[in-house]
């Protein structure tokens, strides 16, 4: 399983989880695959263009499983834009099913609102 995300410093991160033939977790690795500054706005379209460029650079376009991100709407827009880019390349990708919410961010929102 490969996870890609942009961290709170704007760095594109990748985490790879390997399973053996018995579906047992064997090792986990994380590496920085790109460092791309967003010089314009942080809209979903801008982020998607930056992420897509990196995916293309390393030939990872067809290997996206999911994006784990916080709850901001620009992340929703980004995954939809990635979905359009995938389909334009003949790659199946469902932004809604592949958009995962970061649990620590969700817990933080609950604590912040007092619920």
What integer pLDDT is reported at residue 91 of this predicted model?
Answer: 94
Model pLDDT for residues 65-82, shown as the tens digit of each residue: 888 888 888 889 999 999
pLDDT tier for residue 3 given thresholds of 50, 70 and 90: low
Between CA 88 and CA 44, with CA 7 as vertex, the angle to 5 degrees is 40
Model pLDDT for residues 10-52, shown as the tens digit of each residue: 666 666 655 556 655 555 555 667 777 788 888 999 999 999 9
State the residue for tokens 């809209």: 43
What integer pLDDT is reported at residue 67 of this predicted model?
Answer: 83
E runs forming strands in the chain: 2-6, 11-19, 25-35, 66-69, 99-101
What integer pLDDT is reported at residue 112 of this predicted model?
Answer: 72
**CB within 8 A of 111, min separation 6: which ones?**
none
pTM of the predicted model, to two decimals? 0.67
Indicate if the alpha-carbon torsion angle 64, 66, 95, 54 is positive or negative: negative
């Amino acid at each position: 399983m490969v996870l890609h995300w942009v961290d709170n410093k704007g760095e594109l991160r990748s985490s790879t989880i390997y399973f053996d033939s018995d579906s047992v977790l064997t090792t986990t690795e994380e590496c920085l695959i790109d460092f791309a500054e967003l010089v314009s706005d942080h809209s979903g379209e801008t982020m998607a263009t930056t992420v897509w460029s990196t995916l293309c650079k390393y030939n990872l376009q067809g290997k996206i499983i999911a994006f784990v991100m916080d709850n901001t709407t620009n992340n929703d827009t980004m995954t939809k834009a990635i979905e359009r880019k995938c389909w334009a390349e003949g790659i199946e990708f469902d932004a809604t099913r592949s958009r995962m919410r970061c649990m620590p961010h969700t817990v933080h929102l609950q604590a912040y609102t007092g619920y």
